[in-house]
Amino acid sequence: DAGITQSPRYKITETGRQVTLMCHQTWSHSYMFWYRQDLGHGLRLIYYSAAADITDKGEVPDGYVVSRSKTENFPLTLESATRSQTSVYFCASSELYGTGYDQPQHFGDGTRLSIL
């Protein structure tokens, strides 16, 4: 089925550990995004990518690393997890972004990450 899938759906880890959240899309969309959703802050953009090997920072990039070696995959890594990174993480994709002809973003179901 076409779509965007995130894994794992739930993850519990400890402070200081490295954790990677996976995102895979089957539409071959050029743009992919990572957001975090927190009570009191809403959704905030962490990183986005315009194409394979092209990434850029969003509103809250500190403590996160992304890569995009293939168009369909956009993993997000927390190199040394902190409690403040406990959140729900959403991946999204879109054919066009940052223009006057943007296309809607399609979201995955999220990864609920708890850092103890």
Partner 1 sequence: KQEVTQIPAALSVPEGENLVLNCSFTDSAIYNLQWFRQDPGKGLTSLLLIQSSQREQTSGRLNASLDKSSGRSTLYIAASQPGDSATYLCAVSGYYDMRFGAGTRLTVKP
Positions touching partner 1 (CB under 8 A) are: 33, 42-45, 48, 56, 58-59, 90, 92, 97-110
**Nearest approach, Cβ of residue 80 and partner 1 (Å):** 27
Compare residues 4 and 80 and give the one whose CB is closer to partner 1. Answer: 4
**Nearest approach, Cβ of residue 107 and partner 1 (Å):** 3
Compare residues 3 and 16 and give the one whose CB is closer to partner 1. Answer: 3
Phi, psi dihedral angles at 23 (to 5 degrees): -145, 130
Torsion of CA 60, 66, 111, 61, to 10 degrees: -10
State the pairing for strand pair 111-115/31-38.
Answer: unpaired
Closest CA to 110 of 97, 94, 92: 92
Compare residues 17 and 90 and give the one whose CB is closer to partner 1. Answer: 90
**Nearest approach, Cβ of residue 16 and partner 1 (Å):** 28
**Nearest approach, Cβ of residue 90 and partner 1 (Å):** 6
State the pairing for strand pair 10-13/111-115.
Answer: parallel
Compare residues 17 and 21 and give the one whose CB is closer to partner 1. Answer: 21
What type of residue sits at position 105?
Q
